[in-house]
A and B are shown apart, each in its own frame.
Chain A
Amino acid sequence: MEAFTTHTGRAVPLRRSNVDTDQIIPAHWLKKVTRDGFEDGLFEAWRKDPEFVLNRPERAGATVLVAGPDFGTGSSREHAVWALQNYGFKTVVSSRFADIFRGNSLKNGLLTVVLPQETVDALWQLTENDPTAEVTVDLVARQVRAEGITADFELDENARWRLLEGLDDIGLTLRHEADIAAFEAGRPSYKPSTARI
């Protein structure tokens, strides 16, 4: 996983709540068997509208998505995270993320930042009025900064450490090999097995 320390970039204000993962990447894109090449599928239906915020020329190259509450609801498809990353987003800000999407994002180095809705409103206002306004998401200081806005955010220490270091979760878990083997030795015999009967 790519490490995340701090990032500064222009923003895309997405004034919508309940952006489900079917909107982020429609199901027909899920037939691909790779982790890349999803950028054209990002918000595919909405991008057919030339006025959609992502299509505005002043938003080209923006890397910070500022979204409404309940972002990433619905399907567990990690393709939603890959699509955002493939498109160029480094971080997403919202007042509330769906759990599975949040977990997926942090495992891929896409930093999802939870801020109060008032701060999200302020970021929307700032970046709608001034598309060139830059937003800094600083994981070291756990802080979001933009003109006139300074907001601390929370992220548990373990998730932060893994992001800062860009660590591979599987490698970390396999350090506990002896514990896993010991747990397996104690599992009751009535537990289900998929071995063919």
Chain B
Amino acid sequence: MGRTLAEKVWDDHVVTRAEGEPDLLYIDLHLLHEVTSPQAFDGLRKAGRPVRRLDLTIATEDHNTPTLDIDKPIADPVSRTQLETLRRNCAEFGVRLHPLGDVEQGVVHVVGPQLGLTQPGTTVVCGDSHTSTHGAFGALAFGIGTSQVEHVLATQTLPLSPFRTMAITVEGELPEGVTAKDLILAIIARIGTGGGQGYVIEYRGSAIEKLSMEARMTVCNMSIEAGARAGMIAPDDTTFAYLQDRPHAPRGEDWDAAVAYWRTLRTDDDAVFDHEVVIDASELSPFVTWGTNPGQGAPLSSAVPDPASYTDASERLAAEKALEYMGLTAGQPLRDIAVDTVFVGSCTNGRIEDLRAAASVIEGRAVAGGVRMLVVPGSVRVALQAVEEGLDKVFTAAGAEWRHAGCSMCLGMNPDQLAPGERSASTSNRNFEGRQGKGGRTHLVSPQVAAATAVLGHLASPADLPGLAGATDVRTTVEV
């Protein structure tokens, strides 16, 4: 019987396999950041162990880093200590680090791909659940805990139990104005936050093949929000074109050998998935969340659901609690929800295409009175590219704040936070209670919806804006 893409990559990394034991898997790339690594380095130090493969390990600073005044000492002493700890650990063990102020600094999941380190058929881990992002390249990439970070530092391997395979096939054309973010939010709403539990998801079908690499990263990034162990997309010419000539991409004969291997990384025709989901791209429309987990989402054109409509008791209770926390009432049109803050950024939507998309909507318009809009590039490279294209000027002319690269308001470990009761439209990945600041209320949206929302002051899509030439109204499209 044939094998799926995920099974092929897994099989190519098995170091040892024995009955009744997890497979020992080799790890090709280990990404580190300041939050989940200090205790792992401590463990190495206590055991007197070195980092086994410095040439497969790289670190950056992202979660704690401020997005203003980066040339000044970090105001929060605890954040400062954590960043200094990473710098000390990297210096002591010899790990390559791109600290705040370095041109290669940024959100770890933006940095890996742009350096060309994330490649098809590799295994990629990081002490961060959004490591699933790298699956967009046909890599088997997943988030790990700190004990596993220490394990990979010491052994470059991980003992892992087998996974199940799920195919999510998206056929057809995404309607105009509908993005990869809308697609993945609709998928999560359909299969639920636990729907992917135990699975590696492979996204496939004509709509997926048409996505750019950056859009594919947005899709794979949020696989974890459906509970999946990883999300993957088979590498193709789009992948190879993105990688070619990046700093760490293979060159010369190595490039040819790599591409020849990468072309084998497709699910065989006779492979069988443990579970399959089929989605018609043409039925999708801009999608937003109304609740406190990423599965609690609905088309922007619809209304806040009535908890009483849920047959499952725990889902009903979760919806009730979510509406209470979010300060929403059942039946309220989603478009009527006014926001205080708009955040464009994160490992989900902080790449150059995301900034271009948001800029194209807001160009020549203004952020609504009383609304704060933060634009935080995913990396310094993304920021430099955006400046070269004049996107920073587009944002600042509209009244948005153009900030330095980092995770920022996605999780509010730095000063970029919501105040209690404040409401955001955010291009990030989690609408959990308090995620963006204590008492903050988050609606997950695409960059285009974020920008339109900033202009109108309530949840909106570009089609709602007056005078946007060529826009089509997608309000009447059907729910998935």
A99-129 interface bits toward B, Cβ cutoff 8 Å, 1 = contact, 0 = none: 1100110011000000001000000000000
Report whether A108 and B147 are in contact in the complex, using a CB–CB cutoff of 8 Å: yes
Report whether B145 and A78 are in contact in the complex, using a CB–CB cutoff of 8 Å: yes
Report whether A197 and B247 are in contact in the complex, using a CB–CB cutoff of 8 Å: yes
Residues of A within 8 A of B438 (CB): 26, 45
Identify which of A16, A18, A33, A117 contacts B39 (C-beta below 8 A): A33
B356 CB-CB contact with A under 8 Å = no
Q: How far is the CB of A192 from chain B (nearest CB, A)?
A: 5
Interface segment among A2-10, A83-91, A145-153, A172-180: the answer is A172-180
Size of the B side of the interface (Cβ < 8 Å), in residues, is 89
Which residues B430-445 have CB closer than 8 A to chain A?
Answer: 430, 432-435, 438-439
Report whether B194 and A69 are in contact in the complex, using a CB–CB cutoff of 8 Å: yes
Report whether B28 and A191 are in contact in the complex, using a CB–CB cutoff of 8 Å: yes
Residues of A within 8 A of B142 (CB): 100
Report whether B156 and A18 are in contact in the complex, using a CB–CB cutoff of 8 Å: no
A50 CB-CB contact with B under 8 Å = no
Report the bound CA distance from A6 to B282 in whole Å: 54
Identify which of A81, A100, A156 contacts B143 (C-beta below 8 A): A100
Report whether B430 and A23 are in contact in the complex, using a CB–CB cutoff of 8 Å: no
A141 CB-CB contact with B under 8 Å = no
Report whether B81 and A194 are in contact in the complex, using a CB–CB cutoff of 8 Å: no
Report whether A99 and B229 are in contact in the complex, using a CB–CB cutoff of 8 Å: yes
Which residues B54-74 have CB closer than 8 A to chain A?
Answer: 54-58, 63-64
Report whether B193 and A70 are in contact in the complex, using a CB–CB cutoff of 8 Å: yes
Which residues B388-435 have CB closer than 8 A to chain A?
Answer: 411-413, 430, 432-435
Report whether A179 and B15 are in contact in the complex, using a CB–CB cutoff of 8 Å: yes
Report the bound CA distance from A16 to B63 in whole Å: 28
Which residues B199-252 have CB closer than 8 A to chain A?
Answer: 224-225, 227, 229, 247-248, 250
The chain B residues found within 8 Å of chain A, CB to CB, are: 15-16, 20-22, 24, 26, 28-29, 35-36, 38-39, 42-43, 47, 49, 53-58, 63-64, 76, 78-79, 81-82, 85, 96, 116-119, 122, 127-129, 142-148, 150-151, 154-157, 159, 161, 193-194, 197-198, 224-225, 227, 229, 247-248, 250, 254-255, 257-258, 261, 292-293, 295, 314-315, 317-318, 321, 411-413, 430, 432-435, 438-439
Closest 7 CB pairs of A and B: A104-B145, A33-B38, A78-B145, A190-B258, A76-B143, A190-B250, A190-B254
Apart from the given pairs A31-B79, A192-B118, 8 other A-B contacts in the complex at a CB distance below 8 Å: A18-B292, A27-B413, A103-B145, A170-B47, A176-B15, A176-B24, A183-B26, A192-B28
21 chain-A/chain-B pairs, Cβ below 8 angstroms: A17-B318, A20-B432, A26-B434, A28-B412, A30-B36, A30-B63, A31-B82, A32-B82, A73-B293, A75-B430, A76-B145, A77-B36, A78-B39, A78-B147, A100-B144, A158-B20, A174-B155, A184-B26, A184-B53, A189-B257, A194-B56
